[in-house]
Chain A
Amino acid sequence: SQQGEEDPQALSIQEGENATMNCSYKTSINNLQWYRQNSGRGLVHLILIRSNEREKHSGRLRVTLDTSKKSSSLLITASRAADTASYFCATDADDYKLSFGAGTTVTVRA
């Protein structure tokens, strides 16, 4: 069964606004990763946060991890049209396999 679940399922924002999506998971993890998928393409890795980290930044991306609540959030600041995509969280329970959530579809309106 899927480990991660994203919320919301879909998000529509204006260019320049921030987008926040959340991921909840069920079991202990080694790390949590976020991926982006543009329409019709394969997934692209965005950022990885380890279980002993609470926050991580990469450019306009900010990821938080709360292992006590088994949840993570991805914030995209100052969104652009090119950020329109689906975003997936994936949990790594240290067994060389990732478990993906169903994803959040983000639409950035010009």
Chain B
Amino acid sequence: DAGITQSPRHKVTETGTPVTLRCHQTENHRYMYWYRQDPGHGLRLIHYSYGVKDTDKGEVSDGYSVSRSKTEDFLLTLESATSSQTSVYFCAIRAQGGGETQYFGPGTRLLVL
């Protein structure tokens, strides 16, 4: 699992509340990614990071923000959760040393009521 953990693993929240998901890696990888997975859509990129304090938007970034103040942590924040953000969220890292493959965390199931 390339030393990737996500927390929490499950969360139920109410519409309008802020939510922060955490991705933690232990192997000093430069690139980190947040995806959401919904039935029929596969994985869609929300935001990614290419270094501390260096982040960029993916294809479905509206309603989400990210922060990376340390190499090992990449945070995803839903400023005001909506029901459309009910999903499974995956964090991934890009392998070091020239590899192009990504390694995924176990996922966080988020339900917004």
**1/0 per residue B81-113: CB within 8 Å of A?**
000000000101010000011111111000000
Give, as a whole number of angstroms, the nearest-CB distance from B73 to chain A: 18
Chain B residues lying within 8 Å of A99, measured Cβ to Cβ, are: 45
In the assembled complex, A14 has its CB within 8 A of some CB on chain B: no
Is the interface on chain B under 10, 10 to 19, 20 to 34, or 35 or more residues?
Answer: 20 to 34
Cα distance A31–B40 in the bound complex, in angstroms: 23
A97: which of B48, B105, B107 is its contact (CB, 8 Å)? B48
A2: which of B42, B90, B101, B105 is its contact (CB, 8 Å)? B42
**1/0 per residue A41-72: CB within 8 Å of B?**
11111001000000000000000000000000
7 contacts between A and B (CB under 8 A): A42-B90, A42-B92, A43-B102, A88-B42, A96-B50, A97-B33, A97-B58
Contacts from A to B (Cβ < 8 Å): 1-2, 30-31, 33, 40-45, 48, 88, 90, 92, 96-103
Not counting A40-B107, A97-B45, a sample of 9 additional A-B residue pairs whose C-beta atoms are within 8 angstroms of each other reads: A41-B107, A42-B104, A43-B43, A48-B100, A48-B101, A96-B50, A99-B45, A100-B43, A102-B41
Contacts from B to A (Cβ < 8 Å): 1, 31, 33, 35, 40-45, 48, 50, 58-59, 90, 92, 94, 100-107
